[in-house]
Structures are given as structure tokens and as C-alpha cells.
Structure 1
Amino acid sequence: MDILLALIDGIGAAMQPTNLGLAIAGVMVGLFVGAMPGLGSVNGVAILLPFTFVIQEFTGSATSPMIFLAAIYYGAMYGGAISSITLGIPGASTAVATTFDGRPMALAGRADRALVIAALASFVGGTISNILFTAFAPPLASVALKFGDPEIFALMLLAFATFIGLGGDDIPKTIFSICFGLVLASVGFDIVSGEPRLVFFDISGFSHGIRFLVLAIGVYGIGEMMWTMMASQSHSAMSYVKITRRGLIAACREFASAWRGTAIGSFLGFFVGLLPAAGATPGSLMAYGVAKLTARDPKSFGKGNPDGISAPESANNAASTGAMLPMMTLGIPGSPTTAVLLAGMVIWGLQPGPLLFSSQPDFVWPLIGSFYISNVIAVLVNLAFIPVFVWMLRMPFTILAPVIFVLSLIGTFAAYQDMFDVWLMVLFGFGALLLRKLDYPLAPAVLAIVLGPIAEPKLRQSLLFSDGDFSIFFTRPIAGPITIVALILILLPIVKFALAHIRPANR
């Protein structure tokens, strides 16, 4: 009851004209930042962090600038789906999984429905995670603390296991795709010895490793554009998308049929967001994999399945709230963006940790209240601007293709200010085109390059702790069951594939 009263007071404080205006402005900025390839919530929050000092001087409170930054974070989670669906370019790494089914749905002339499903799934995921955050912050933070290196590696292994089936029935090509992604993820300096690994031709640009955003924009921006051009896919199907009230009602009904993906994404995304150094990108990819794994018709994924949109979109919004929880209750950022937010809190004289809720309730509860407010603002703005987003698709592909190319170049350069990454992005685009022509699935490789840099250090640190004994992944009470389930999910499709090819040979 005390928590409910505190939340009501917090929402009331968040709805004060100044804070409400900052929330609206933050969501609008976040939508642009999220939709613009190469930016994302991390860059948006980091770029605008100095501006919050002006807000603090004007309001005299640390709560208002934090509400502004949190609204940017929320808006960016929504905005990433816009370019993923309309252009096939992930606005941010958190929206990569949305392209798997969002882009095919747009190509089929259903972009309006894809955008509605993405917005409503984001809203549901954000709402569920806000409720969980409010009700269970201290115990959930203590659960997250129990996840050490073996547990996090086991969870990453489970994520890989859910993606074994992403390549359809061709298991060898899927495994090759995952291994290829892991090789790319290992480029750079070794985390233990400091020695360079796979620095091809001694090119210094490889020393920082293969940046995920470079791969994502290359594969889903340049690669998708060239594939569409080579396949001579007609753009007219998207040109006739019309926004009508009947169409929006039908889109809402279609979202209701995607309840399974929304539920999976909301709860799984929030849980993954709790874990230090995980964040929304692994959460959205894992939610997509689990939704496909548990679907009645998994072969429809990748062809415009509504669950393939609702799962990652609800997951990345739930994970963004989940990542705030360890940051506020333990002082441990759950994602790169919350690391920037943590820095802002420290600059403003706040001390994140267990005592923050009791010592700074005037800061905590208005901030939590702003989560609810920003979530509502974001879904309303998204739905209101759907006609604008669909209008983008009415451009002839002869105009749209150069726009995609330029946005990909600008987005990659804006993210890292490095021309080497721009050329590498173009190279990945040609590589993705080649793999698609050879019928190799791209999604498992994308998953591998996201989770590889997280899984490898956890694996090696766990083995260092156990003196090289792999039993550490089976004997610990949390890591053991997760590892066993992951191994079963990995072995089952491999065994089925082997049996399916052995039986015809015997006949």
C-alpha cells in the first residue's frame, strides 16, 4: 500500500507542467534518435547529457534532467522499429530482430500493421516491466546479484540454443552462420593476454574489433537494399498502403493475436535487462528466438509473423526498464545507456544504491512515475505518426535506394567517426548479399556477434575461477539447469537432422 501511494505521488510529480514537457520533448528526441541508423539510445543520452545541466539550473532539481534522459531512452526503444520496418535498416542494435519479420510485412503491403504491432507491443512490454520494477525492485535486484559469470554464460548459451532453429531445417548452415559470427566477434585484442587476434593484414582498424552496429547496418541496410534490387521485388506493394480507421482496427486485432510473443518478450526482456552488461539487444534477440521456438508455425517467422515483431519490441522496452533497476538499487548499470545515466546521477550528487529509495524518495518516485508517463506518450506519438512513416514507403525504390545508402553511410560514420568502419559496413553489405544468394541464414550470425563479446569473457573467467573445470556450469544451482536446458535445445535439432538424413540413406 505504501508503494502504491508513493507511486501515485510520483506520477503526480512527473505530470507537473515542467516535467511533463521534458518527458514529451525527451520522447520526441528519442524517437528520432532511435529511428536514425547509427545513433541509438546510448549516443542520444550521451550527446544530450551536457544539456541537462541547463535543465537542472532552470528547475533546481536533479529529477527533471533525469526524467528528460529517461524519456529519451524510452523514445529510442520505440523509434528503433521505425526504420527497421519501413527501410529494413535497424535504427539501433536493439531493433535488429524487428527487421526479421517487420521488413517482410512491410514488403507485403502491411507496413501500417507492422508499425501498430510494434508500438502496442512496446507499450505492453514497458507497462509490464514498470509494474514489475515498482513492485519487486529490492528482491529482483538481489536475484540479479546471484548471477555470476557461470550463470550469465549459461544464459548466453541458452540464447544460442534458441537460435539453432532460425535457419529453418538446414541445421549445418545455421551452425556455420553462428560460428562465422563468433569468429567476427573475436576480432580485436584478447581480453586475457592482450594479444591481437584476427587483425587481418595488420590493418589497425580491426584492433577495436568488429562493431556490432557496423555489421547490422551493413547486413540490413546495404545488403537488404542490394537484395531487393537484384531480386527485382516490386515496390508497388508498399506504395498502396493506406491508413484507414478500419485498417487500424484490423491492426489492433492482429496485435491481439500476437499475445504469445508479447508475453514472452515482456517477461524475458525484463529479466535479461536486470543482468549486468546484458541490456536490450540480447533480450530482444532471445525473445525472438524463444517466440519462434515455441510457435505453432515456426516456419512463418521471417515472412511477416506478428509474433516476430511483438516479441523483440516488447522485450527491448521491458529490458530498458529492467536495466534501470540494478542501476538504481545497486549502482550497477544493466546496459551501456544506463551507464551514462548512472554517470549523470553521480554528477548531480546522487548516490545510486540500496539506500537511494529511502534517502532520496523525492527523486526516485517521480522518476519511476515518469516511466509510466513516457511510456504512454511514446505509444500515442508513435500511433499518431504512423501515416508519416508509411508515407516514406510511397517513394519509388529508385529514390528510396539512394536514401537507404546515404543513411547507412551517415549512420555508420556518425556512430564512430571512423571511415574504416564505413568501408567495413559496405563490405558486410556485399557479404550479406552473397550469403543470402547461397541461402545461408543471417540472423544466427547477427546473434553471435552480439552475444559473443558477452559470452567469451564470462566463459574464460568462469574457467579461470574453476581451474579449467567445465563442471562449474553444471554444479551451480542456477547455472546447472540453464546449461542442461541449453544443451538439450542444441542437440535436439541436430539429432533430428541427422536421423532425417540417415533414414533415406538406409532405404
Structure 2
Amino acid sequence: METLVHLADGFATSLSLLNITVIVLGVTAGLFIGAMPGLGSVNGVAILLPITFLVPPTSAMIFLAAVYYGAMYGGAISSILLGIPGASTAVATTFDGRPMAQQGKAGLALIAAATASFVGGTISVILFTLLAEPLADFALAFGPAEEFALVVLAFTTFVGLGGDDVLKTLAMILLGLVLSTVGLDLISGQPRLIFFDMPGFYSGISFLVLAIGVYGLGEVLWTIEETRGAPKVTNARIGFRDLIEGFRALRRTWKLMTFSSVLGFFVGLLPAAGATPAALMAYGLAKTGSKTPEKFGKGAIEGVVAPETANNAASTGSLLPMLTLGIPGSPTTALLLGGMVIWGLSPGPMLFIEQPDFVWGLISSLYTANVFAVIVNIALIPLFVYALRMPFAALSGVVILLCIVGGFAPNQKMHDVWLIVAFGLAGYGLRKMDYPLAPLVLALVLGPLLEKAFRQALISSQGDLATFVERPISGALMGASALLFLLPAIRPLWRRGVEALKAAQ
């Protein structure tokens, strides 16, 4: 009951005219920022942070949280329409969202992404409200060994992303892990894999550069070959009837959305985890548990729903350790934490006691931001779909321009642009040889997290590998990882056994 009273007081704050205005502006700005390749929630919050000093601290935090929410919604737009994941959180959405757009179902994919994001955001905010204090204590139990086991679990959930050819999938995962080690060593600072002694490799290979290259430029090259240079227009449309049919199609995914929301929230709760592992794990588990896993990667609506639900739920979960422990759960919440310190607020358990108006105003604003984000997103879907009606000759030019600008903008280095070209050609070649590209990109995203947690755990245990299975949480996660890893081999044996049993009867 006390929680409901605090929440009601929070709504009195978040529903003021000023805060409603900043929420609408925040989610709209975040939507377009998330849709732009090369930007994303981190860059959006960083860019807009200075203007928040024009409003009170509570309104400033509500505005940045709304930008964060809007960017998580917007990340699906470029993934679906262009096949370019503008941020790591939207990688998994590309796997089935882009094929749906190519089949003329861009409107349905965008509706599915918006609805799933809304469901994920709503469920996670409710969990946030009810479970804030006990879950904060649970997050403290996660050390390097548990973080390593969690990332390993994320890897094993998408071992099957390459289809039936598990060896090719594993080869691409290993290649991605090798690329993730390029740069300076985490512990010693020594340079590693500096190809041709080029200074640009000292800062490593950015996920964005690889993703834009293989999914953006590589996709353009592949499509040009498939169409033989002939003009091509995507048969994309959206109307009121399409909206109704889209919502009907989503009704059968409510169990998946609920599961992905809970999974995303708990993964986002963990320090240094964030929305990317949550989205990848949700996609992998959705495919593993599907009765028709062969449809994934070819335009399955479940392949859009699962990651979009999970990444929005995780974005809310990552706010919890920031507020209750002062530990940012993601790069974006690290920026939000910095903003709170600048405004004179001290994140931690005492924040709920000393600044209840701020805390509950922020929590209630997440409900409001979620509602406005889905309204703005669905209202703009016809505009986004209309862009697909232009001939491919014109659209490909726009995609290539966005690839170059999106790759150059974050670090402003021509080295990244040349890497995009190289990865685009490599991605085109790998696709022609039927190598899955998703595991390559995902391994580059999760590789640094895996290495950091692994080495920290070994240092703290003085090199004892048993530390990964001795602790209850890490041991359970490693056991689940082993089971999922062996699942592709167990399934055929299980089916043969069942068939043999039926034949014997």
C-alpha cells in the first residue's frame, strides 16, 4: 500500500505540464536518434545532456529517461527498414525484421516492434516498482564469475542462429571473438593484433563499424546482385486494416512477450550487462523453444517480438542498480548517473528516503514515457514505410550514405570508413558461401564483456578455474549453458528415440 501511495505522489509530479512536455519531446527526439545508424541512446543522452540544465533536476532526469526510452523504440526502425542496426541492442531485431520488410511486411514488423517494446517497458516498470529493494540486493551477488557465466549463457542461446550448420556458426563466433581482442590488452595495456601496424586498430574494432559493414553495405551489394541492377520497389504499405491485422497476429505471441520481458528485466538489472545480452538471449531462447525454429531468420514475427520486448525491459532494469546502488547497469545509465551527480543528487539506498519526490517522479514518468513512445512510434509508421516505396536504386544510395556517415560520426576517423568497406565486401562474400553473419557480430559485441569478466574472475581466484562452477549462481548458469550447447546434438537423438519407440509399439 505504501508503494501505491508513493507512486500516486510520483504521478502528481510526472503529469505536470512541464514534465508532460519534456516527456513528449524526449521520446520523439529519442525515436529519431535511435533510428539513425551511428547514434543510439548513449550518443543521444550525451548530446542532449547539456540542455537539461534549463529545467529542474527532476524534469531533467525525466527528459533524459524519455530520450532513453524513445531511442530503444527507434533502434528497431533502421534495423527493419534498412537492415542496419544502429546500436548493439537492435542487432537481433535485424535477423527477422529485415526479411519481413523485404517481403512487404515492413508495417507489420514495425507494429510488432512498437507493441513488443510497449509490453516490455510496461511489465518491467511494474516489476521495477514492486521489487526495487530486494532485486538491488540480488544484483550485489553478481561478481565477475557470475557475469562470465551469464555471457557464456548468452552465447549458447544463439549457437543455433546459423541454421543447421553448427560448425559454420561456431567458426563465425570464434572469428568474432578474435576481432574483439584487437586493440590494447585490458590488463597489461600491450597492443594486440594491430594489423599492418595501422594506428587505427589501437582503439579496437567498433561493433558499429562491423555491423554497418556486413549488414548495411553487404546487404546493398547482395541485393544489387540479386536484382541484376533492375529497378526494385519494396511492396510496403500500411493502413488501418493493416494495423488491426498486425495486432491480431501479435495476440499469439503474448506468452513470448511476457517471458522476454521478465528475462530482459533481470538481465538488465545486472551491473555491466545491459540490453544487448538480454535481446540476444531472448532471441536465442525464442528460437530454441519454437515449434518452427526453421522460420527464424526468414521473417518470423517472433524474431522481432522477443528481442524488442527484452531490450526495452532491460533498459528499465538497468536503471534500478543506478538508483539503489549507484552502479550503472549500462553505458547510457552511466551518463544518467553522471547527470544526477552534477545536479547534486547522491544515488544509493538513501536516495529513496532523502529524495522521494525525485525517485517516484522518475519511476512514474517511465509509465508515461512508455505510453507516449508507443503512440508517437505507431503514428509515424506510415512515414517510415513510405520511405521503402522509393526505387532501390535511390534507396541504396541513401543506405550507402548513411553507412558512411554513421561509421564516421562517432569517432570521426577515416579508418572506420575503410573498415566498413572491407567488412561490407567480406560480409557479401561470407553470405555467398552461406556463412551466418549474426554470430560474427554478436561475438564482437559480447567478446569484451566475456574477456573482462573471465580475467577478473581468474585474478580474484588466483587462477582457479573452479571459481566458475563453485559459486551457486555461476554454477547454475554454466550448467544451463552446457545443456543449451548440447541441445542441437540431443534433439536428433531424442527424435530418433521417440520414432523408434513408436515403431516398436
TM-score range for the pair, normalised by the shorter chain length = over 0.9
Deviation at 1:285, TM superposition (A): 1.2
Using the alignment, how far apart are the partners of 1:96 and 1:233 within structure 2?
28
Cα distance, 1:326 vs structure 2: 0.3
CA distance in 1, matches of 2:255, 2:161: 18
Q: CA deviation at 1:243?
A: 2.0
- CA pair 312-233 structure 1, distance change in 2 beyond 3 A: farther
Cross-structure match for 1:504: none
Aligned to 2:24: 24
User: Shift of residue 264 of structure 1?
Assistant: 3.0
The match for 2:356 is 361
Alignment counterpart, residue 249 of structure 2, candidates 254, 279, 283: 254
2:288 matches 1:326: no
Q: Which has the higher mean CA deviation after the structures are superposed, 238-247 or 165-174?
A: 238-247
* Distance across 2 between alignment mates of 1:212 and 1:190: 17
**Whole-Å separation in 1 of the counterparts to 2:153 and 2:228:** 36
Q: Say what the alpha-carbon RMSD is for the aligned residues.
A: 1.7
Residue identity matched to 1:147: F
Counterpart contact for 1:222–1:429, Cα < 8 Å: yes
Q: CA 1:232 to 1:297, structure 2 compared with 1: closer, same or farther past 3 Å?
A: same
Aligned to 1:45: 45
Distance 1:430 1:404, change over 3 A: same
Counterpart pick for 2:185 among 184, 187, 190: 190
Show the counterpart of 1:505.
Answer: none
Matches within 5 A, 1:400-411: 400-411=395-406
Q: 1:129 to 1:236 in 2, by over 3 A?
A: farther
Equivalent residue letter for 2:157: T
Residue equivalent to 2:122: 127
Q: 1:238 to 1:98 in 2, by over 3 A?
A: farther
Cα distance change on mapping 1:372 and 1:237 into 2, 3 Å: farther
1:302 lines up with 2:297 in the alignment: yes
Amino acid at match of 1:19: N
Specify whether residues 375 and 160 from structure 1 end up closer, same or farther in structure 2 by C-alpha distance, changes over 3 A only: same
1:242 Cα deviation from its structure 2 partner? 2.7
Separation in 1, partners of 2:259, 2:213: 29
Determine whether 1:5 maps to 2:5.
yes
Match of 1:503 in 2: none
Aligned equivalents of 2:232, 2:27: Cα separation in 1: 31
> What does residue range 193-232 of structure 1 map to in structure 2 within 5 Å?
193-232=188-227
Q: Distance in 1 between matches of 2:267 and 2:349?
A: 21
Aligned counterpart, 2:501: none
Indicate whether 1:279 and 2:274 are aligned: yes
Which residue in the other structure is 1:412 paired with?
A: 407
For the pair 1:434 / 2:429, whether they are aligned, the reply is: yes
Alignment CA distance shift 1:158-1:238 (3 Å): farther
For residue 89 of structure 1, give the secondary structure of its aligned residue in structure 2: coil
Cα distance change on mapping 1:369 and 1:495 into 2, 3 Å: closer
Is 2:101–2:236's contact at 8 Å kept on the other side of the alignment?
Answer: no
Identify the residue that residue 34 of structure 2 maps to in structure 1: 34
String of CA shifts for 1:326-382, please: whole Å, max 9, x gaps.
Answer: 000000000000000000000000000011111101111111111000000000011
Q: Does 1:90 align with 2:49?
A: no
1:238 CA displacement: 6.0
- Tell me whether 166-175 or 229-238 shows the greater mean CA deviation: 229-238
How do 1:333-344 and structure 2 match up within 5 A?
Answer: 333-344=328-339
Q: Distance in 1 between matches of 2:460 and 2:394?
A: 56
- Distance in 2 (alpha carbons) for counterparts of 1:425 and 1:52: 35
CA distance in 1, matches of 2:324, 2:222: 47
Worse-matched range after superposition: 416-425 or 170-179:
416-425
Structure 2 counterparts to residues 411-490 of structure 1, below 5 A? 411-490=406-485
- Is the CA contact (8 Å cut-off) linking 2:9 and 2:357 kept in structure 1? no
State the partner residue of 1:351. Answer: 346
Contact 2:149 2:468 survives alignment (8 Å): yes
Q: Which amino acid aligns with 2:265?
A: F
Higher mean C-alpha deviation, range 240-249 or range 330-339: 240-249
Contact 2:13 2:361 in 1 (8 A): yes
**For the residues of structure 2 that align with 1:361 and 1:25, how far apart are their CA atoms?**
25
The code of the aligned residue for 1:24 comes to V
After TM superposition, give the deviation of residue 237 of structure 1 in Å: 8.4
Spell out, residue by residue over 1:118-167, the C-alpha distance to the aligned partner (whole angstroms, 9 max, x if none). 00000000000000101100111111110111111001111111111111
Report if aligned partners of 1:171, 1:494 keep a CA contact under 8 Å in 2: no
Report the count of equivalent residues: 495
Q: What is the CA-CA distance between 1:488 and the residue it aligns to?
A: 2.0
**5+ residue gaps, structure 2:** 496-505
Q: Residues of 2 paired with 1:392 and 1:286: CA distance? A: 31
The alignment's TM-score, normalised by the length of structure 1, stands at 0.95
Q: Does the C-alpha gap of structure 1 residues 265 and 237 become closer, same or farther in structure 2, counting only changes over 3 Å?
A: farther
The alignment partner of 2:389 has SS state of coil
Partner secondary structure for residue 49 of structure 1: helix
Q: Is the 8 A contact 2:61 2:362 kept in 1?
A: yes
Asked whether the 8 Å contact 1:100–1:302 carries over to 2, the reply is: yes
Contact between 1:235 and 1:396, CA under 8 Å: does it hold in 2? no
CA distance in 1, matches of 2:463, 2:230: 55
TM-score by length of 2: 0.95
Task: Select which of 61, 71, 82 maps to 1:66.
Answer: 61
The separation in 2 between residues aligned to 1:478 and 1:234, in whole angstroms, is 54
Give the Cα separation in 2 of the matches to 1:333 and 1:499: 44
Query: What SS does structure 1 have at the residue aligned with 2:409?
Result: helix
Contact 2:231 2:393 in 1 (8 A): no
C-alpha deviation, 1:233, in angstroms = 8.3
Please tell me whether residue 394 in structure 1 is matched to residue 412 in structure 2.
Answer: no
Displacement after TM superposition at 1:442 (Å):
0.9
1:134-213 alignment, distance < 5 Å? 134-213=129-208
2:105 aligned with 1:110: yes
Give me the whole-angstrom Cα distance separating, in 2, the residues matched to 1:233 and 1:217.
23
In 1, Cα distance between equivalents of 2:481 and 2:223: 36
Q: Give structure 1 stretches of 5+ with no counterpart.
A: 56-60, 501-507
Q: Give SS of 1:393's match.
A: helix
